[in-house]
């Protein structure tokens, strides 16, 4: 799945670009991304004539707020991509939804493997339509959290660190890539128990969570062979060039000059340096 830096990159781009634009018409190429609907017209008719008043992020959902008290919700999944296009641009074969504005082109949802979903809900009913939002934990990008508050929540668990920081009920939007990078920067092993950390180690982990996520957003997310990410204006995420350990098994660590290790953990590869304790 895409992680918080990729989704936040999309949100920021679209919020700067789409607010004030009015939908002329919408077209759905198939039902692949419309799992909540019985037919395509039921979806597209909810968009036509609407003006965009804001673009927000709720966890890993993009929420495009419309006048008329409704919201377009987009879940990018692991292969979805929201792209801005001119009306005359050729339509990619992976295109599922095309939203045409009265001025300034189109917004298209592309999805190569049908992992994305889109639907419109009443804005006031958003929490009811997405009940999982109520179970989300900390969002260090949307709302700054102190290291002490972070530490209090952390110490309530007796869980291996990578398992905990990839649990959305503790902190949202962190998957394998950023978890490995965060733990490297914090100098902590993936299998260290969360309630064994000292105050200094909690500070380091907090700083690594916040710093890694904000750095990744600065470089517009991570695009790697296993998970390509392209932003709304066609640019791939560039944080892959700054990864220290993820996907670098056998390369020399920038910290120890020893080969980066990997081990199966929770069903996927975890990458780490021998200096992590």
| pLDDT higher than threshold 90 for residue 226 | no
| pLDDT higher than threshold 90 for residue 68 | no
pLDDT at residue 152, rounded to an integer:
96
| pLDDT higher than threshold 90 for residue 209 | yes
Supply the mean pLDDT for the chain: 97
Name which CATH class applies to 147-272: mainly alpha
Share of the chain above pLDDT 90, in %: 99
| pLDDT higher than threshold 90 for residue 32 | yes
Give mean pLDDT, residues 232-248: 97
pLDDT at residue 1, rounded to an integer:
86
- Regarding pTM above 0.85, the answer is yes
pLDDT band at 98 (very low <50, low <70, confident <90, very high): very high
- CATH code of domain 4-129: 3.20.190.10
The DSSP bridge partners found for residue 81 are: 110
Give mean pLDDT, residues 268-274: 97
- Tell me, yes or no, if the two domains 4-129 and 147-272 fold the same way: no
The DSSP bridge partners found for residue 52 are: 66
- Altogether, the residues listed in the chain come to a count of 277
- Every domain of the chain and the residues it spans: 4-129, 147-272
CB half-sphere exposure, 255, CA atoms < 13 A: 15
Strand order in the sheet with 23-28: 23-28, 95-101, 106-111, 80-85
């Amino acid at each position: 799945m895409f992680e918080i830096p990729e989704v936040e990159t999309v949100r920021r781009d679209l919020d700067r670009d789409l607010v004030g634009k009015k939908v002329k018409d919408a077209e759905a190429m198939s039902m692949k991304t419309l799992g909540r609907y019985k037919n395509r017209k039921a979806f597209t008719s909810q968009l036509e004539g609407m003006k965009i008043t804001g673009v927000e992020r709720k966890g890993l959902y993009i929420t495009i707020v419309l006048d008329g008290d409704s919201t377009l919700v987009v879940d990018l999944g692991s292969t979805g991509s929201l792209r801005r296009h001119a009306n005359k641009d050729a339509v990619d074969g992976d295109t599922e939804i095309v939203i045409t504005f009265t001025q300034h082109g189109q917004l298209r949802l592309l999805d190569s493997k049908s992992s994305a979903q889109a639907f419109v809900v009443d804005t006031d009913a958003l929490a009811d339509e997405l009940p999982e939002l109520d179970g989300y934990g900390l969002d260090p990008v949307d709302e700054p959290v102190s290291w002490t508050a972070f530490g209090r929540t952390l110490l309530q668990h007796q869980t291996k660190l990578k398992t905990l920081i990839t649990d959305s009920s503790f902190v949202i939007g962190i998957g394998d890539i950023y978890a490995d990078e965060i733990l490297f920067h914090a100098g902590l092993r993936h299998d260290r128990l969360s309630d064994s950390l000292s105050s200094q180690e909690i500070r380091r982990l907090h700083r690594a969570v916040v710093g890694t996520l904000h750095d990744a957003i600065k470089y517009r997310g991570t695009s790697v062979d296993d998970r390509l990410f392209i932003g709304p204006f066609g640019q791939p995420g560039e944080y892959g060039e700054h990864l220290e350990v993820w996907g670098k098994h056998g390369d020399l660590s920038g910290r120890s000059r020893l080969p980066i290790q990997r081990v199966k953990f929770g069903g996927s590869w975890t990458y780490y340096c021998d200096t992590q304790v």
